[in-house]
């Protein structure tokens, strides 16, 4: 009788122990879906003279803003400059972007004591620069010479003598060139900084 009681007790204890173990199992963590990050900027077109303003429109709340002219969550049209600027809103590693257009003319402040322009706002500049289209050659490749098949040499015969000479059609170069349309063959073009006037805006007086 004692033996049967011990066996029954051991069986019951084993069952209870298994039940406890099954209850201690941890459920696998449920992976949360990524946040739906969006950016609907409060201002998308602003005058350059407008003071810095706090950016808003990013959801969910708690993200950060970055981009040209952005500092500590504020956008400065003056620092960004005229043009279109990409603004990025980042939340939990996920990004959304928007665009702000800054329009208007930046007011130029000329320093009367500027060491570079002496208060004139202009500095000396070369009115002509090397043509960027033809690299100063004044011409551009058009096609290979058809008279010599691009070899630059043609066969010639005089009485019983056979030989070769420079192709007269391409002057022995094997290529046919055309005049550069931007510099008209001069190899020089107007300086984009001074527009060919020889006086460019002072880089210090912006």
List the chain pLDDT tens, one digit each, 206 residues: 444 444 455 655 566 556 655 555 555 555 566 678 899 998 899 888 889 999 999 999 999 999 999 999 999 998 888 889 999 999 988 899 999 999 887 666 677 778 888 888 888 888 898 998 898 999 988 899 998 988 889 888 776 667 888 999 998 899 999 999 989 999 999 888 888 888 888 887 75
- Nearest Cα to 151, choosing from 139, 168, 169, 167? 167
Question: Does one domain contain both 198 and 121?
Answer: yes
Pairwise CA distance, residues 84 & 70, whole Å: 13
Angstrom distance (rounded) from CA 29 to CA 166:
82
Number of domains observed in the structure of the chain = 3
Q: What is the C-alpha to C-alpha distance for residues 161 and 92, in angstroms, rounded to an integer? A: 85
Residues 43 and 40: their CA atoms lie apart, in Å, by 9
pTM beyond 0.75: the answer is: no
**186 and 200 share one domain:** no
State whether 113 and 157 are in the same domain: no
**Domain encompassing residue 118:** 108-127+192-206
**Strand bridging mode 199-201 / 161-166:** unpaired
- We report the CATH number of the domain holding residue 66 as 2.60.40
């Amino acid at each position: 009788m004692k033996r049967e009681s011990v066996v029954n007790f051991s069986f019951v204890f084993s069952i209870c122990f298994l039940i406890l173990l099954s209850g201690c199992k941890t459920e696998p963590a449920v992976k949360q879906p990524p946040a739906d990050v969006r950016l609907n900027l409060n201002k998308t077109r602003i005058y350059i003279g407008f003071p810095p303003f706090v950016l808003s429109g990013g959801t969910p709340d708690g993200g950060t803003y970055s981009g040209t002219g952005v500092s500590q969550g504020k956008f400065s049209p003056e620092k960004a400059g005229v043009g279109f600027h990409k603004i990025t809103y980042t939340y939990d590693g996920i990004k959304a972007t928007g665009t702000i257009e800054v329009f208007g003319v930046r007011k130029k402040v000329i320093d009367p004591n500027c060491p570079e322009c002496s208060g004139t706002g202009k500095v000396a500049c070369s009115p002509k620069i090397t043509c960027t289209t033809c690299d100063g050659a004044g011409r551009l490749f058009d096609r290979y010479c058809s008279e010599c098949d691009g070899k630059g040499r043609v066969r010639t015969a005089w009485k019983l003598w056979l030989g070769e000479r420079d192709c007269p059609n391409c002057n022995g170069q094997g290529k046919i060139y055309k005049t550069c349309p931007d510099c008209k063959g001069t190899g020089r073009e107007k300086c984009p900084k001074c527009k060919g006037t020889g006086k460019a805006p002072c880089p210090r007086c912006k």
